[in-house]
Amino acid sequence: MILLHPNKHDRNYPDERSREVMLKTISFFERRGKRKLKEDDHAALWYDDFLAFVREERIFATMCTPSGYGAADARWDTWRICEFAEILGFYGLQYWYTWQVSVLGLGPIWMSDNEALKRKTGRLLEEGAIFAFGLSEKEHGADLYSTEMTLEAAPGGGFVANGRKYYIGNGNLAALVSTFGKIAGTGEYCFFAAESQHPSYRCVQNVVHSQNFVSEYELCDYPVREEDILSRGDEAWNAALNTVNIGKFNLGWASIGICTHALYEAIHHAAHRKLYGMHVTDFSHAKALFTDAYARLVAMKLVALRAADYMRSASAEDRRYLLYNPVVKMKVTTQGEDVINHLWDVIAAKGFEKDTYFEMAARDIRGLPKLEGTVHVNIALIVKFMANYFFQPTELPEVPRRDDARNDDFLFHQGATRGLGRIRFHDFEKVFARFDLPNVRLFCEQIDALKQLLTHATPDQAQTRDIDFLLAVGELFTLVVYAQLLLENAEIYELDRGLVDQIFDVLVRDFSRFAVQLHGKPSTSAAQADHCLKMIRRPAADAARSERIWLEHVYALRDAYTMNP
Ligand SMILES: Cc1cc2nc3c(=O)[nH]c(=O)nc-3n(C[C@H](O)[C@H](O)[C@H](O)COP(=O)(O)OP(=O)(O)OC[C@H]3O[C@@H](n4cnc5c(N)ncnc54)[C@H](O)[C@@H]3O)c2cc1C
């Protein structure tokens, strides 16, 4: 079974501790139960009990300490991180968030050469500490160039820092807050570790009403000693972007966890609700919506798992992950919104009820495409790879499934963030050719039509500066990369070929929709608009296939799981 099932945990792990972390986390939430989950959510209660569990069971110590800085079971292992993030999302985005911002806070620390601080961080993780990532500021969002947090040289050596940060998760209690600033006079970037409990650190407010503490904090003449400095100059800049590279991948997994729980809840409700003498799941439109939701969710999971293989295999020579990673961030999270929309269309009023998981899912799924780089920022990044991806394929090592017990060393040594346009990719068309399925063939025709547009009606200079136009092209390109990753994993996981065809039924429709969007853009030329129309395809319907997928994969989930009350 490809979807997470809390009561049937059968994922492959090379060591017992990894499985133990997952099972203990599941058991914590199930024992605590759904009523408490929802009460705490409504009361916007800080999750002390969850963090006590994390401390007692050394969960973050195992999961977030790279090899060599902690106990024998500690390593940074994206294979197990994927499922951990999925489980947290499954039980509530708030629990995922306190872990996620700890991951972000740890990024600049593990990337730094400050060995003493790294050793200290390893000890703090063992003690159950949480961390924070102080990048954003109130006035200029993700625009790092405009950072106003300032470090001035102190008379006796070191610096004093002054300034405010905004939207910083865990800023109330984090043992260390990795804070990004500029050195006065030179404008040199600097990352340093501040302590949230220091007298010169002022936690101003929680800017959201939620269980999370998304802080505004102020440093008032905060003393930054040499030993608090993590990185300076280009290294500090790279640490900011490379940390986001690692962290933003986890947003896809939060979406997958949220959608999985919401699907179990929604189909259970619909299958047992009778209207006009029939069950809601007997309506043809309800079946179609559930089948689309399921197809999208399976695709989300396979794509994110495959991208993790490339992250774990990345090196200075193989940086394909820099495309696949923003695809997970942008596409998996927006697909998550589609899944919740489909489910909500069926369960309607039920989705508003205070006792449902769905009520949280419907709210929280919206955040993931917007945070840690919006959809726009990620598509703008993704299109930088398009020319090489389509027109300059090269031979590169095949990447297997990476479920081995290895520390992902390279993630903390990613190096300079430049040179994206020079990254090369393997020939994506080969995997499509291995799937002789009606909807995969249609999708290949759509790709060909897109390539025709790019070669025969190539976007001009003005269009390549027009973000509105680029975003529309980027949606089409992203879908191709998404489908490639999906097919690669459909092979590795030996996915039912009928289900692959069903997923491509969805993707063919999505491709047509994005083609129509590009067709309608004001700066699309007449020739380009013609090419867009040639991308439109009708999926190959197959009633027997759809009915089988419905019965064997989707409807089969109706009584599969309900959370312990
Ligand atoms: C609940 C929550 C938790 C958060 N946690 C943290 C945290 O722990 N640490 C932290 O540092 N930050 C955190 N953030 C900040 C978050 O990462 C930013 O809000 C996010 O990156 C987007 O920035 P913004 O909302 O300020 O948008 P803005 O930067 O104001 O952008 C405005 C618009 O311009 C577009 N845009 C901006 N730049 C580009 C570009 N280059 N190309 C194309 N379009 C562009 C955006 O897509 C957006 O539509 C958090 C925010 C929230 C709401």
What's the 143 CA to ligand 1 centre distance in angstroms? Answer: 8
pLDDT in tens, 354-380: 999 999 999 999 999 999 888 998 998
Atom of ligand 1 nearest to the CA of 208: 1
Burial class (CB in 10 A: 0-12, 13-18, 19+), 190: buried
What's the 376 CA to ligand 1 centre distance in angstroms? Answer: 10
- Nearest Cα residue to atom 13 of ligand 1: 167
What's the 201 CA to ligand 1 centre distance in angstroms? Answer: 24
Mean predicted confidence (pLDDT) in 141-155: 93
Tally of CB atoms within 10 A around 65? 26
Say yes or no to pLDDT of 490 above 90.
yes
- Distance CA(395)–CA(317), nearest Å, equals 12
Q: Which of 135, 244, 371, when mutated, tests ligand 1's pocket best, judged by the most ligand atoms within 8 Å of its CB? A: 371
Burial class (CB in 10 A: 0-12, 13-18, 19+), 510: buried
- Predicted local confidence at residue 10, as pLDDT: 87
What's the 216 CA to ligand 1 centre distance in angstroms? Answer: 15
| Crossing angle of helices 375-382 and 467-492, rounded to 10° | 80
- Nearest Cα residue to atom 41 of ligand 1: 377
pLDDT in tens, 137-146: 999 887 899 9
Question: How does residue 418 score in pLDDT terms, banded at 50, 70 and 90?
Answer: confident
H helices of 111-191, in order, are 115-126
Atom of ligand 1 nearest to the CA of 180: 11
- Distance CA(196)–CA(172), nearest Å, equals 7
Three-state DSSP state, 273: coil
Question: How does residue 416 score in pLDDT terms, banded at 50, 70 and 90?
Answer: confident
Give percent of the chain above pLDDT 70: 100
- Predicted local confidence at residue 358, as pLDDT: 98
Mean predicted confidence (pLDDT) in 491-504: 98
What's the 134 CA to ligand 1 centre distance in angstroms? Answer: 13
- Nearest Cα residue to atom 7 of ligand 1: 168
- Predicted local confidence at residue 245, as pLDDT: 87
Q: Rounded to two decimals, what is the model's pTM? A: 0.98
| Crossing angle of helices 93-110 and 48-56, rounded to 10° | 50
- Predicted local confidence at residue 341, as pLDDT: 98
- Nearest Cα residue to atom 2 of ligand 1: 167
Atom of ligand 1 nearest to the CA of 134: 11
Is residue 77 within 8 Å of 308, Cβ to Cβ?
Answer: no
- Predicted local confidence at residue 401, as pLDDT: 97
Residue 125 tokens read as: 């993780």
Residue 207 parent element (H or E): none
Q: Which of 102, 106, 133, 372, when mutated, tests ligand 1's pocket best, judged by the most ligand atoms within 8 Å of its CB? A: 372
Burial class (CB in 10 A: 0-12, 13-18, 19+), 314: buried
Tally of CB atoms within 10 A around 437? 21
- Nearest Cα residue to atom 14 of ligand 1: 167
pLDDT in tens, 510-565: 999 999 999 999 999 999 999 999 999 999 999 999 999 999 999 999 999 999 99
What's the 137 CA to ligand 1 centre distance in angstroms? Answer: 10
pLDDT in tens, 3-26: 999 999 989 999 999 999 999 999
141 sits in the region (left: phi over 0; alpha: psi -120 to 50; else beta) called left
Atom of ligand 1 nearest to the CA of 210: 1
Atom of ligand 1 nearest to the CA of 171: 8
Residue 360 amino acid letter: M
- Nearest Cα residue to atom 38 of ligand 1: 377
Q: Which of 14, 10, 26, 85 is nearest to 307 (CA)?
A: 85
- Distance CA(295)–CA(289), nearest Å, equals 10
* CA distance readout (Å), 98 to 92, 168, 192, 221, 407: 11, 11, 20, 27, 23
The residue assigned the tokens 């400050």 is 114
Atom of ligand 1 nearest to the CA of 136: 11
- Nearest Cα residue to atom 9 of ligand 1: 168
Q: Specify which residues 206 forms β-bridges with.
A: 215
Tally of CB atoms within 10 A around 465? 10
Tally of CB atoms within 10 A around 91? 25
- Distance CA(231)–CA(192), nearest Å, equals 7
- Nearest Cα residue to atom 4 of ligand 1: 167
Three-state DSSP state, 139: coil
- Distance CA(377)–CA(142), nearest Å, equals 10
Say yes or no to pLDDT of 388 above 80.
yes
Residue 73 tokens read as: 């079971």
Average pLDDT score over the chain: 97
CA 459 to mean position of chain CA atoms: 30
Mean predicted confidence (pLDDT) in 109-135: 98
Residue 169 parent element (H or E): strand 159-169
What's the 377 CA to ligand 1 centre distance in angstroms? Answer: 9
What's the 447 CA to ligand 1 centre distance in angstroms? Answer: 32
- Residues touching ligand 1 (Cβ under 6 Å) are 101, 133, 135-136, 141-142, 167-169, 208, 214, 371-374, 376-377, 380, 467
Is residue 450 within 8 Å of 480, Cβ to Cβ?
Answer: yes
* CA distance readout (Å), 524 to 384, 467, 537: 19, 12, 20
Question: How does residue 496 score in pLDDT terms, banded at 50, 70 and 90?
Answer: very high
- Nearest Cα residue to atom 3 of ligand 1: 167
Mean predicted confidence (pLDDT) in 463-469: 94
Q: Which of 180, 374, 378, 465, when mutated, tests ligand 1's pocket best, judged by the most ligand atoms within 8 Å of its CB? A: 374
- Predicted local confidence at residue 142, as pLDDT: 72
- Distance CA(388)–CA(394), nearest Å, equals 9
Contacts of 501 by beta carbon, 8 Å cutoff, 6+ apart = 437, 438, 439, 440, 540, 542, 545
Mean predicted confidence (pLDDT) in 271-294: 97
- Nearest Cα residue to atom 42 of ligand 1: 377
